[in-house]
Amino acid sequence: MATEASPDKYKQVREDIAKAFPNENYDDGSFAPVVLRLAWHASGTYDKNHKDGGSDGATMRYKAEAEDPANAGLEHARTFLEPIKAKHPWITYADLWTLAGCVAVEHMGGPHIEWTGGRKDKNNETDCPPLGRLPDGALGKDHILDVFVSRMGFTVQETVALIGAHTVGRCHRDRSGFDGPWTYNPTRFSNQFFKLLLNTKWVEKKWDGPRQFVDEDDEIMMLPTDIALLEEPFRQYVELYAKDQQKFFDDFAAAFLKLIELGVQKRGRL
**Which 3 state secondary structure label does DSSP give 181?**
strand
Average pLDDT, the chain: 95
217 CB neighbour count, 10 Å cutoff: 6
E-strand stretches of 94-227: 170-171, 180-181, 203-204, 213-214, 221-222
What pLDDT is stored for residue 210 in this prediction?
97
Report helix angle 93-107 to 245-261, nearest 10. 180
Instruction: Point out the residues of the chain with pLDDT beneath 50.
Output: 1-3, 268-270
Instruction: Fill in the amino acid letter for 54.
Output: G
Q: What is the pTM of this model?
A: 0.95
**Which 3 state secondary structure label does DSSP give 1?**
coil
What pLDDT is stored for residue 4 in this prediction?
55
What pLDDT is stored for residue 266 in this prediction?
65
- Rounded CA-CA distance 174/199 in Å is 29
- Rounded CA-CA distance 214/218 in Å is 5
Complete domains list, the chain, with CATH: 7-133+255-261 (1.10.520.10), 141-253 (1.10.420.10)
Provide the CA 156 distance to its chain's centre, in angstroms.
17
Catalytic residue set: 41, 182
